[in-house]
Amino acid sequence: MRSVEYKNPEYYINRELSWLEFNDRVLDEARDKINPLLERVKFLAITSSNLDEFFMIRVASLKDQVKAGYTKADISGLTPKQQLKQISLRTHTLVEKEYNTLNRSLIPLLGKNGIRLHSSEELSEAQREFIMEYFNGTVYPVLTPMAVDSSRPFPLILSKSLNIGILLKHSDGDKGYMFATVQVPSGLPRMIELPAPEASEKNERNFVFLEEIIMMFLDKLFTGHEIICAHPYRITRNADLTIDEEEAEDLLQEIQKSLKKRNWGAGIRLEVDHLMDERLLNVLKGSLGIHKGDIYYIKGPIDLTFLMKLSSMEGYRHLKYRAYEPQYPQALADEEDIFQAIDKKDIFVHHPYDSFDTVVEFIEKASKDPDVLAIKQTLYRVSGNSPIVRALEQAAERGKQVMVLLEVKARFDEERNIQWAKRLEQAGCHVIYGLVGLKTHCKITLVVRREESGIKRYVHLGTGNYNDITATLYTDMGLFTSNEYIGADASAVFNMLSGYSEPQQWYKLEAAPVGLRKKLLALIENERQNALAGKKAVIMAKMNSLVDRELISALYGASAAGVEIKLIVRGICCLRPGVKGISENITVLSIVGRFLEHSRINYFWNDGREDVYLASADWMPRNLDARVELLFPVEDREIKEKIIGILDIELADTLKARVLEQSGKYRKIDRRGKKSLDSQMYFCKQALRGAKAEEPEADTQKFEALHIEDFETGA
């Protein structure tokens, strides 16, 4: 095995700082003029939402470590306290960039396209009259002003809620001022549409923010008191749930109790209006327990997630991506019976280019087929109105054996998954909530069917969740197969999940936390040995995140031996490419575009055999050591070539790909002398044409017939 251990912290990029660089790439999509305007608005909303979760989980965890006196450095050599300092500097810069994008670019462009966001000072007399009626009739009845004095302590402010802080002049002038706060009702629209001015254009739409309306009429809430100042603010709290699974008598009840605490965790970040009165700020800072470095002065509307609704407004098709309808794969369309189609040959689906209806239909047909005896499935995140859950309920009601592992610890989906679990149980399904100490993250469905030749097993394995909504937004891959060895492994997986059975061996699959790490290390080591023997050696891998030091160290060893390594890592990447003698043979791309890149692919040249594996797991310690994950081989030659072609196209992307530099920063592809290619739009067109994606040819007229307008994400 490897004789060199690559432990030098300089060889690694900090996980949290790498994630912030990813969010910066999302923000760049909001700044990219190639994207349609309302799609740019959506990317800005996503950037803001991402940052919320980052603070609630990652920053909160680091603060907990500092509070506990934990001083051990991470793989990049940074202690929790040092990480927090660098995160603060980077996020303040990122937030400033967000609002520069909004104020200098997007708001003016929205105005030019007839979507106007007004401040209270810009309103006409008729609009003011409309607002007064709206306030009195709709807003005022639901407001609850909260004063603070000796008998009324500082109220608990809900995490991520938008509030207005107010200073009132004390009735006794010598006592200074009083503090009060009003929560902006989340049940009302954030943007209130106004009647258009008489002189405006016909298609113009005018909006004012709800918090602006409330501040216009604060005197109605505090009659008899002089208002000194009023400004919006928002607190973000620690939402990282800690559950003692070993001691919990009922995991569902324990999670439900913990969920209630999520809104009241310790304050992590305070966003305030940049013009906030210093006295008001001091009250908030002291009462909420916020440090100076955790305060963000916002030049614009606080909480940009409202932009998601703005981006989805009806009637602006010309400002959105051209509609794309996922295609039904020909291999399934040619057969009336989905089981006959799968029995003939393995079937590959590439979402969202190929329709997720294939997966839904697989489970629906199984639920209705009288010859199907059992359906077993793992569910991690499902949609709010899941057709898959409905099909499983119907299967149980028809007397079939239905076993579902529904992971109730899926972060931010806990409550929804608990409700689904209860519904499935009521329908007669056997439901497992997850395993103690592990999250079940693998995506697998097993259908057991009675046929003339005997019992036959049909399996679906995927890289992404069984979620019909996100399947139109995320790129993922799935494999349908009736391979008897994979079927046997699938049965072993579910026996392991539902009972105490531990497989003695796997025929085709590899599972975490048992042997998946060992398998990946062996595959990397094999390429290293081939390179040392003077043979061609290539590794290509695509994943969401690359964090695990042992696997990164193995890649460094392979690179140093001469293995050519090409990585596509959408999000966090702790590997530092371009280090002399260490990672000179490694290139890392990140693709951020219309769809969220989510598939996990592993390719190894293996002396010309070209082994391809798909997986549910990223290369992170949590996936390899603390989750149930699956790695599965692709053995059909045609499917294997198609997946290799997909990797080649993505590596040739010049419009949406970014290259990771040794510094940890990302740069755009230098397009000089190259054809313009957006890989996602390429796959859309290939799916529409029903043709296999062609591989790019080096130094030839590889995309001569394809023009930039074919691949631009705009309409």
DSSP 54: I
Check residue 695 and report its DSSP letter: P
Residue 601 corresponds to which amino acid? Answer: I
Alpha carbon distances (Å) from 560 to 307, 518, 549, 579: 47, 21, 16, 10
Which structure tokens are listed for 511?
């599972």
Q: Return the beta strands (E) in 463-563 as ranges.
A: 474-481, 510-512, 538-543
**Structure tokens belonging to residue 640:** 């294997």
* Upstream peptide bond of 108 is cis (omega within 30 degrees of 0): no
Place of tokens 């810069």: 93
Decide: 349 and 445 in contact? Cβ < 8 Å: no
Residue in this structure with the two tokens 């796959």, named with its chain if needed: 683
Active site residue 441: yes
In the chain, what's the furthest Cα-to-Cα distance?
93
Query: How many Cα atoms sit within 13 Å of 575 on the Cβ side?
Result: 35
Of 350, 441, 460, 598, the catalytic one is 441
Task: Encode 315-344 in three state secondary structure.
Answer: CCHHHCCCCCCCECCHHHHCCCCHHHHHHH
For residue 343, the Cα-to-chain-centroid distance in whole angstroms is 34
Answer whether 686's CB lies under 8 Å from 693's CB: yes
Is residue 184 within 8 Å of residue 162, measured between CB atoms?
yes
Instruction: Identify any residues that bridge with 511 across adjacent strands, giving them in sequence order.
Output: 630
Give the orientation angle of helix 15-31 with respect to helix 37-53, to 10 degrees.
160
- Asked whether 589 and 567 are in contact (CB, 8 A), the reply is yes
- In whole angstroms, give the CA distance from residue 74 to residue 80: 8
Q: Extract the tokens encoding 293.
A: 């470095």
CB 226 within 8 A of CB 169: yes
- The DSSP secondary structure of 349-399, one letter per residue, reads EEETTB-THHHHHHHHHHHH-TTEEEEEEEESS--TT-HHHHHHHHHHHTT
Residues 6+ apart with CB under 8 A from 133: none
d(CA 189, CA 414): 26
If we measure between CA atoms, which residue out of 318, 388, 598, 377 comes closest to residue 472? 598
| Tokens found for residue 547 | 């964090």
Cα separation, 32 vs 663, in Å, equals 23
Task: Provide the H-helix boundaries in 428-515.
Answer: 484-498
Q: Provide the 10 A C-beta neighbour count for residue 370.
A: 9
Q: Are 487 and 459 in contact (CB under 8 A)?
A: yes
For residue 677, count CB atoms less than 10 angstroms from its CB and return exposed for 0-12, middle for 13-18, buried for 19 or more: buried
> Which string of b and e fits 494-506 if b means at least 16 CB within 10 Å?
bebbeeeeebeeb
Amino acid identity, residue 400?
K
Beta-carbon contacts of 96 under 8 Å, excluding residues fewer than 6 positions away, are: none
How many residues can be counted in the chain?
A: 715
| Distance spanning both ends of the chain, measured CA to CA | 53
Q: Are 459 and 375 in contact (CB under 8 A)?
A: no
Output the six-digit token pair for 340: 């006959």
Q: Which residues are catalytic?
A: 441
